[in-house]
Structure 1
Amino acid sequence: MKLETNKSTTTARFSSNLSVWRRSLNVRTALLYLLPSIVLFTVFIFYPMFKTIYLSFFLTDQQGNPALFVGLENYAYLLESESFKKSIKATFLFVLYTVPTGVILALALALLANEKLRGIGFFRTIFSSTMGISVAASSVVWLFLFHPSIGMFNRVLSLFQMEQVQWLLDPSWALISISITTIWMNTGFSFLILLGGLQNIDEHLYESAKIDGASYWYQLRRITIPMLSPTLFFIITISLINAFQTFGQVDILTKGGPSESTNVIVYSIYREAFINYQFGTASAQAVFLFLCILIVTILQFKFGERKVHYQ
Structure 2
Amino acid sequence: MNRVESELPFTRLRIKRRVKARSRSSHAQSMHRLRWKENMWGYLFLFPSILIFGIFQFYPMLESVYLSLHMTSPTGKIVEFVGLSNFKELFAGDGFVESLKGTGLFTLYTVPAVVVMALLLAALTNRNTRGMKLLQLIFSMPVALSVGTSSVMWGMLFHPTTGMFNYFLSLLSIDPVMWLTDPKWALLSISVMTIWMNSGFAYIVLLSGMKGIPADLYECAKLDGAGSFTRFFRITLPLLSPTVFFVGIISIIGAFQSFGQIHILTKGGPMQSTDVMVYSIYQEAFTNFRFGTGSAQALVLFAIILVLTLLQFRLLERKVHYQ
Q: Does 1:204 pair with 2:196?
A: no
Match of 1:61 in 2: 73
Hey, what's the Cα distance between the residues in 1 that align with 2:132 and 2:114? 21
Contact 1:98 1:183 (C-alpha < 8 Å) held by counterparts: yes
Tell me by how many angstroms 1:7 deviates: 5.5
State how many pairs are aligned.
Answer: 311
Q: 2:47 aligns with which of 21, 35, 42?
A: 35
Q: Percent identity?
A: 49
Hey, what's the Cα distance between the residues in 2 that align with 1:242 and 1:154? 29
Q: Does 1:261 pair with 2:288?
A: no
Q: 1:225 aligns with which of 237, 256, 272?
A: 237
Tell me by how many angstroms 1:34 deviates: 1.4
Match of 2:138 in 1: 126
Q: 1:138 aligns with which of 139, 144, 150?
A: 150
Hey, what's the Cα distance between the residues in 2 that align with 1:282 and 1:181? 27
Normalised by the size of structure 1, how large is the TM-score?
0.95
Tell me by how many angstroms 1:67 deviates: 1.5
Tell me by how many angstroms 1:16 deviates: 4.3
Q: Which amino acid aligns with 1:143?
A: G
Contact 1:168 1:177 (C-alpha < 8 Å) held by counterparts: yes
Hey, what's the Cα distance between the residues in 2 that align with 1:23 and 1:31? 12
Q: Secondary structure at the match of 1:38?
A: helix
Tell me by how many angstroms 1:278 deviates: 0.5
Match of 1:240 in 2: 252
Hey, what's the Cα distance between the residues in 1 that align with 2:33 and 2:148? 55
Q: 1:280 aligns with which of 278, 282, 292?
A: 292
Match of 1:20 in 2: 32
Tell me by how many angstroms 1:152 deviates: 1.5
Q: Does 1:92 pair with 2:100?
A: no
Q: How do 1:284-295 residues align onto structure 2 when only pairs under 5 Å count? A: 284-295=296-307
Q: Secondary structure at the match of 2:283?
A: helix
Tell which deviates more after alignment, 292-301 or 12-21: 12-21
After superposition, the Cα gap between the structure-2 partners of 1:119 and 1:279, relative to the gap in structure 1 and judged at 3 Å, is same
Hey, what's the Cα distance between the residues in 2 that align with 1:17 and 1:214? 60
Tell me by how many angstroms 1:14 deviates: 3.8
Tell me by how many angstroms 1:285 deviates: 0.7
Hey, what's the Cα distance between the residues in 2 that align with 1:134 and 1:66? 36
Q: Does 1:172 pair with 2:205?
A: no
Match of 1:48 in 2: 60
Q: Secondary structure at the match of 1:110?
A: helix
CA RMSD of aligned residues (A): 1.7
Contact 1:83 1:260 (C-alpha < 8 Å) held by counterparts: no
Superposition misfits of 4+ residues, deviation over 4 angstroms? 5-13
Q: Secondary structure at the match of 1:169?
A: coil
Q: Secondary structure at the match of 1:95?
A: helix
After superposition, the Cα gap between the structure-2 partners of 1:211 and 1:68, relative to the gap in structure 1 and judged at 3 Å, is same
After superposition, the Cα gap between the structure-2 partners of 1:78 and 1:209, relative to the gap in structure 1 and judged at 3 Å, is same
